[in-house]
Amino acid sequence: MKKMLNKLMVSRPESLKVWLLIIFFGILFTIPLWVKNPAILTIFIYTFLYAFYGASWSIIGKYGGQISLGHAVCFGLGAYISVWLHQYYGISIWLGMFAGGVVAALIFLLIGLVCFRLRGLFFILTTLAFAEVVRVIFNYPLSPLTNGDEGIALFKLQFMEKWPYYFIALAMMILVMIILQRIEKSKLGYYLAAIREEQEAAESIGINSVKYKSIALTISGFLSALSGAFYVHFLGWIGVTDVFGIMVSIQPIIISWVGGSGVFGPIIGSFIVTPVSLFLALLLGGAVRGLNHIVYAVTLIFIVMFMPEGVTGVLSRKVYHPLRKRFETIE
């Protein structure tokens, strides 16, 4: 214990970050002990899940600079494959989630290899087109298996209460934070940053852009598929548009955009976007059709206009760096 404390106190600015994380996650781990309302725990579960999904998208979208509107392909494939494996072959939901993730990642990689030939707006539109093609296939030719938008009721995960889902979703969020941190400090992260800033220059010094974008896309697709599988098994229902719709592809982009860059961007973005969207749907969803979406859009526009670097950028500039300077002067 003494060695651990000495290690933390070697650099006060770094220990500040460590202690802030300990406090943040310490609070999250204790919430189920004093919050018994299932609705509030459900909001936290969705917040953690969409933080995981947003961070999964950011691996290719933020780090690789490839703005994909096709992540619904992974989200939906991971969901349906895990459901089919469980319903028709009796395979464990947990094994089905990982199997769905592998299959979805491989299919998404094939799509990516086609799309990587394009740049900018053409890349974005092509990924969107692939996502729509997959949605139509699942909605019509495969309707005997999917039941289209009418959906299929599922046996939920084996827990009767909300708190096990809470800790699983929290563990998923922590896992993806560790993955992002490792990517940032790895050769893959540096190469992706170079490709994002100037692909031709990166290729001129020997970086294989297709190879490293493919690696990032595969990791991103696998994790996104896990998001979809957990989502439908927690919800206990699956419908085509709910897992393949355009909003499924847009949601992680909004979360990453609002939150900002870095490991904490998608996390903070989800803690803002997800509760707001759920609250507006609950409060305004039954008032005027689409009013909750209008208020939601105006809120996002406000954030983008006045905080273009994302919330993490503002917090870093206004809160963290001043605190860090004070710690440095104490040293």
Query: Which of 75-84, 164-173, 310-319 bottoms out in mean pLDDT, i.e. has the lowest?
Result: 310-319
- The band of 314, judged by pLDDT with boundaries at 50, 70 and 90, is low
- Measured CA to CA in angstroms, residue 170 lies from 42, 77, 155 at distances of 12, 23, 22
CA dihedral 62, 65, 66, 70 (to 10 degrees): 10
- The band of 230, judged by pLDDT with boundaries at 50, 70 and 90, is very high
pLDDT of residue 225: 97
Q: What is the mean pLDDT of residues 85-111?
A: 92
- The band of 322, judged by pLDDT with boundaries at 50, 70 and 90, is low
pLDDT of residue 257: 85
The better pLDDT of the pair 184, 316 is held by 184
pLDDT digits (tens, 9 = 90+) for 244-273: 998 899 899 889 888 887 888 899 999 988
The better pLDDT of the pair 154, 252 is held by 252
Position 80 pLDDT exceeds 80: yes
As a residue count, the chain comes to 331
Q: What is the mean pLDDT of residues 150-167?
A: 83
pLDDT of residue 154: 83
pLDDT of residue 291: 61
**Are residues 158 and 182 in contact, defined by beta-carbon separation less than 8 angstroms?**
no
Q: What is the mean pLDDT of residues 128-135?
A: 94
pLDDT of residue 295: 65
pLDDT of residue 258: 86
Q: Is 65 left (phi over 0), alpha (psi -120 to 50) or beta?
A: left
Position 319 pLDDT exceeds 90: no
**Are residues 255 and 59 in contact, defined by beta-carbon separation less than 8 angstroms?**
no
Q: With residue 237 as reference, give the H or E element that holds it.
A: strand 237-238
Q: What is the mean pLDDT of the chain?
A: 85
- Measured CA to CA in angstroms, residue 224 lies from 75, 169, 231, 252 at distances of 5, 13, 11, 10
Could you give the CA distance from residue 304 to residue 311 in angstroms, rounded to a whole number? Answer: 9
- Facing residues of 1 across strands? none
pLDDT of residue 130: 95
Residue ranges covered by each domain of the chain: 35-247
Position 161 pLDDT exceeds 60: yes
Please count the other Cβ atoms lying within 10 Å of the Cβ belonging to residue 56. 29
Q: Could you please report the per-residue DSSP string of 120-181? A: HHHHHHHHHHHHHHHHHHHHTTTHHHH-GGG-EE-PPPS-SSSHHHHHHHHHHHHHHHHHHH
**Are residues 314 and 307 in contact, defined by beta-carbon separation less than 8 angstroms?**
yes
Q: What is the mean pLDDT of residues 116-140?
A: 91
pLDDT of residue 270: 93
Measured CA angle at 59 (ends 102, 241), to 5 deg: 60
The better pLDDT of the pair 175, 152 is held by 175
Residue owning tokens 């997959």:
134
pLDDT of residue 118: 83
Which residues, 6 or more positions from 203, have their beta carbon under 8 angstroms from its beta carbon? Answer: 209
Could you give the CA distance from residue 40 to residue 14 in angstroms, rounded to a whole number? Answer: 33
Write the DSSP symbol of residue 263.
T
pLDDT digits (tens, 9 = 90+) for 45-66: 999 999 999 999 999 998 999 9
Position 170 pLDDT exceeds 50: yes
Percent helix, strand and coil across the chain, each to the nearest 5: 80, 0, 20
Position 133 pLDDT exceeds 80: yes
**Are residues 70 and 130 in contact, defined by beta-carbon separation less than 8 angstroms?**
yes
Q: CA nearest 65: which of 106, 120, 18?
A: 120
Position 1 pLDDT exceeds 80: no
Could you give the CA distance from residue 140 to residue 149 in angstroms, rounded to a whole number? Answer: 10
Share of the chain above pLDDT 90, in %: 53
Position 117 pLDDT exceeds 50: yes
pLDDT of residue 156: 64
Please count the other Cβ atoms lying within 10 Å of the Cβ belonging to residue 186. 11
